[in-house]
């Protein structure tokens, strides 16, 4: 983002002019969907398909629907608990992900995370 408060009058005028030129360009340009339809029609008039010429589907919506499913991320295995809540020993945390509420509350009170380490 541009911080308008720091720009001089000349810089603001240049920015307004540049924005106006960009706006006029975008307004004159036909929509992508319209251009896509014209290209597909032109190709069909010569007896070809988009797939024959480019190796892709004519519609991006169709392509996305037929795309192979993404590979699943490797699931991390179980990890032994590293921290324990002294008030409730059943509450533990491995140190992965967001800190649990009980630990966050203790840290807000000024305690150190090391105080909750499980001794091995």
Residue-wise pLDDT tens digits, 18-70: 999 999 999 999 999 999 999 989 988 989 888 888 886 655 555 555 556 66
Return the pLDDT at 29.
92
8 A C-beta contact, residue 87 and residue 101? no
Please state, in angstroms and rounded to a whole number, the distance separating the CA atoms of residues 112 and 103.
Answer: 10
Do 39 and 90 share a structural domain?
no
In this prediction, residues 85-103 reach a mean pLDDT of 92
Q: Is residue 21 part of a domain?
A: yes
The three-state DSSP-derived secondary structure of 26-65 is HHHCCCHHHHHHHHHHHHHHCCCCHHHHHCCCCCHHHHHH
Do 42 and 13 share a structural domain?
yes
Question: What is the domain extent for residue 43?
Answer: 7-66
Return the pLDDT at 119.
86
Q: Is residue 33 part of a domain?
A: yes
How many domains does the chain contain in total?
Answer: 2
Return the pLDDT at 10.
93
Return the pLDDT at 68.
61
Tokens of 37: 């339809």
Do 51 and 13 share a structural domain?
yes
CA dihedral 31, 34, 36, 37 (to 10 degrees): 170
Arithmetic mean of pLDDT over the chain: 86
Q: Could you tell me where the beta strands, DSSP code E, fall in 1-120? A: 83-84, 92-93
């Amino acid at each position: 983002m541009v911080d308008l408060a720091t720009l001089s009058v000349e810089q603001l005028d240049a920015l307004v002019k540049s924005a106006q030129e960009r706006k006029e360009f975008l307004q004159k340009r036909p929509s992508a969907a319209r251009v896509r339809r014209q290209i597909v029609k032109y190709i069909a008039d010569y007896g070809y398909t988009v797939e024959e010429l480019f190796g892709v589907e004519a519609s991006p919506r169709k392509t996305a629907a037929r795309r192979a499913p993404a590979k699943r991320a490797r699931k991390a295995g179980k990890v032994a608990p590293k921290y324990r809540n002294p008030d409730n020993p059943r509450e533990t945390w491995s140190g992965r992900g967001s800190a649990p509420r009980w630990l966050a509350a203790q840290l807000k009170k000024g305690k150190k995370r090391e105080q909750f380490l499980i001794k091995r």
